[in-house]
Chain A
Amino acid sequence: VGAGLIDQPLQQAMEIDPAAWPRVLAEITRQRLAGLAMHAVEEGLVALTDEQMDELLIAQRQQMLHAIDLERHLLMASRTLETAGVDAIVLKGTALAHGVYPDPSLRPFGDIDLLVRNSRWRDALEILAAAGFRRRYREPRPGFTARFGHAALLANDRDIEIDLHRTLVAGPFGEWIQADELFDQTTAFRVGGVDLLRLGNTAALAHACIHAALGYRPPLLLPVRDVAQLCLSPHIDWDLMRRWSCDWHLGVVFEHAFKAVAEVIGSPLHDASVNDALVENRGRRDVVALQAYTSQRRRYGGKATATILAIRGVRAKSRYVWALLFPDRDFLASRAKEGSASTYVRRWLIPIHWLKERWRLVLNVHCDRQPNPPASGDPR
């Protein structure tokens, strides 16, 4: 994951046990690391047998074929939006591959991510629908995503996916981030002779931290590498990062992402004082919000409950809760498991199940803290 990132003293190249190789290759493929693995081989950090090398090349070829195909659709989609007067910022994959990594072949991606201004998000949906990109999932109630969601996943008949964002992440942090401000933090990059917009390095670092810390549990390795790659890129405005730490409550997110980088790369990428400055204003609410993504609570409605706390105004909170408890019938039907009926009662059982499981978690923590656990029996 750190290949080509920091100068490492070249010791003996790592060899991979043939018996372990199928699992290693499967993980490389799942985590989209074939490009970085190839780089590690070319740098002499990893030594592969001819057979392993052939299989790695096949994996990377697959990822690159998909990436290049996605880029073709990105250019068409961005041209369509531009013609209609909608500004779009390219996020994550393509933007990082071309704007941040030294070679786009190192950074594969599985979909197209575009951020549009809140005020034009619905327009963008319609424009892209006319271009063949339809919403993949229903929303609980009309207008739910435009107010409380972070993005709509669109797909065309070839299964090319566009994540059309109105903010950077779902949940409480999505409520706190003022995504429209990011349009003042952009820079141009060129793909296939076309100028596109991406987030500048500081905003891209903030987004990479969000993706690495809040996206998956445990964090995927490629987003962690993105954070490291951006940390070492020029023009990071740490004062701006501090402002977002405070105004958008992101300090705990940055800290969590930088910890993940230090664990994966094996050393911190910057001085501890940088981290300290980012979290100096963190509050209890920020920590609770982070735990909604990074702890067991994530599985039991942590994000939904933390979102309720983050939404401003009682009316808006009520709208959110109402939409989740009383979604329209089509949404219920789309969520029903095969062979089972879609009823409101089943829907309402979900938060009851969450509460039960979270209560069990609380009890577990409580029992784990007991200095002298019972001699026999399972307290859980």
Chain B
Amino acid sequence: MTRTTYCQSALVLQRRVGREVLITRVDYGAIDSLAGTAFDAWSLLERPQTSEQVVASLAERYQVDAERIHQDVERLLEELVYRQWVTTLERA
């Protein structure tokens, strides 16, 4: 069985401003911004993480039920992968 891990892409140019991160890359015309819980999730992805690990960390940080945020985290990770801010790795 393989597990998908997520990690910040090495191609990303980023800067932190308080609890916000500004992100772009050389061939991307705009600068995106992640703030609040998205910023927390982004910070976790400095090292490879499974979606379950991200969910667990955020649930602990915000003292909420993991089930409640699971879908939101999955959607965020999908979006980050789609925008190529995050890369995925399949691990056995």
Contacts and interface: CB of A to CB of B under 8 A. Distances in A.
Most buried by A among B11, B12, B25, B26: B26
Contacts of B83: none
Interface in A35-77: 38, 57, 60-61, 64-65, 67-69, 71-72, 75-76
* Count class of interface residues, chain B: 10 to 19
A67 B31 contact: no
Most buried by B among A60, A64, A76, A194: A64
Contacts, number: 51
Contact of B26 (A38, A64, A76, A104): A76
Interface string A84-114: 0000000000000000000111000000000
A67 B15 contact: yes
B18 A57 contact: yes
B15 to A, nearest CB: 4
A192 interface: yes
Interface string B15-29: 111101010111000
A65 B10 CA distance: 19
A72 B15 CA distance: 13
Interface string B31-45: 100000000000000
A72 B17 CA distance: 18
B13 interface: yes
A270 B33 CA distance: 41
A192 B24 CA distance: 9
A105 to B, nearest CB: 5
Contacts of B10: 190, 192-193
A191 interface: yes
A61 B20 contact: yes
A76 B26 CA distance: 7
A104 B18 contact: no
B53 interface: no
A72 B24 contact: yes
A105 B17 contact: yes
B6 to A, nearest CB: 17
Interface in B33-84: none
Nearest to B12: A192
B46 to A, nearest CB: 12
Most buried by A among B11, B12, B15, B25: B15
Interface of A: 38, 57, 60-61, 64-65, 67-69, 71-72, 75-76, 103-105, 190-194
5 contacts: A64-B22, A68-B13, A69-B24, A192-B10, A194-B26
Q: 6 closest pairs, A vs B, by CB?
A: A64-B15, A193-B11, A193-B10, A75-B26, A192-B13, A105-B16
Given A64-B17, A72-B26, 12 more contacts: A38-B17, A57-B20, A64-B16, A65-B15, A65-B31, A68-B13, A69-B31, A72-B24, A105-B16, A192-B12, A192-B26, A194-B26
